[in-house]
Amino acid sequence: MSEVNETLIPQLGIVTDIRTDTPDVKTFRVNALDGGKVFEHIPGQCAFLSMPGVGEALFSITSSPTNKEFMEFSIKRCGCVTDWLHSMEVGQMITIRGPYGNGFPVDTDFRHKDLLFIAGGIGLAPLRSVINYVRGNRDKYGKVDIVYGSRSKDDLVDYDEIINEWVNEKDFNVHLTIDREQEGWDGHVGFVPNYVKELGFDTDKTCIICGPPIMIKFTLAGLIELGFKKDQVYTTMELRMKCGVGKCGRCNIGDKYVCKDGPVFRCDQLDEMPSEY
């Protein structure tokens, strides 16, 4: 039996670096036990991480597949498993299984398009994978705009990479915003949906949104107002999951399973799905 592949039996990874990004977000670097990555993935795909005895939970893979050395997970502390992950130290083994989900269409629909990324808070985690994939394949994509907002400057996830790398990238425009005025912040202040409308983008862009549901809702409405069509807008969803492969039965929206038919959906596809659960 043990030679038969079983997705519910995880592999092992080792945490080789822990970076504190915000007061409640840490980014964990995970390697296979013998170095390198545990598996390859597509931007937007997810993996189950667990500590046996604590529990298992699903996280989007923050790093880009163009990173050949390790995988990264930016994780907000908000429950049992994430509490434990936030308390662990470098050198800790964890279990990992995946990748799960469809991922973003980076090598098809996104190719040669101008891309507009819109993220709120920890919602940047899955988009960072796409953004760094685009940076790693720069000639295959058009101009890139990134609108990223959070509660405060301290809540912007991996601010260093944004400030030191993204803003210097060719044809990259980074627009940061925070919810309230703060000392030491001379950038934009205000919520993401309004900021997107203020910035007023060309409507030939492909948009990729991730953030709190309320942010997604108002941002999408704003984009429609600007003249975008729903089939130009992609988002990624998260619901409770136990298996990752459409069998445990809890992450469906209508007849679609977020784990395998998603987590990435185009907004016109969402219209075909129930608005509730």
- Cβ 137 to another protein, closest distance in Å? 29
**C-alpha to C-alpha distance for 105 and 125, rounded to whole angstroms:** 17
Which helix (H) or strand (E) element contains residue 267? helix 267-271
Pairing of strands 144-150, 115-120: parallel
Q: Which of 102, 152, 248, 266 binds another protein (CB under 8 A)?
A: 248
What is the Cβ-side half-sphere exposure of residue 228, based on CA atoms within 13 angstroms? 28
Q: Give the separation between CA 103 and CA 234, rounded to whole angstroms.
A: 11
Count of Cβ atoms closer than 10 Å to residue 217 Cβ:
13
Give the binding range for another protein (CB under 8 A) out of 24-32, 133-141, 165-173, 234-242.
Answer: 234-242
User: Smallest distance from the beta carbon of 155 to another protein, in angstroms?
Assistant: 16
Nearest to 149 by CA among 75, 199, 83: 199
Residue tagged 């509660």 (tokens): 151
Binding letters toward another protein, positions 61-100, x by CB under 8 A: -----------------xx--x------x-xxxxx-----
Query: Should residue 34 be labelled a site residue for another protein when binding is judged by CB under 8 A?
Result: no
126: cis peptide before it, omega within 30°? no
Q: Which of 159, 246, 266, 269 binds another protein (CB under 8 A)?
A: 246
Q: Tell whether residue 16 is a contact of another protein (CB under 8 A).
A: no
Q: Which of 4, 164, 170, 180 binds another protein (CB under 8 A)?
A: 4
Binding site for another protein (CB under 8 A): 1-2, 4-12, 51-53, 55-56, 78-79, 82, 89, 91-95, 238-240, 242-243, 245-252, 254-255, 272, 274, 276-277
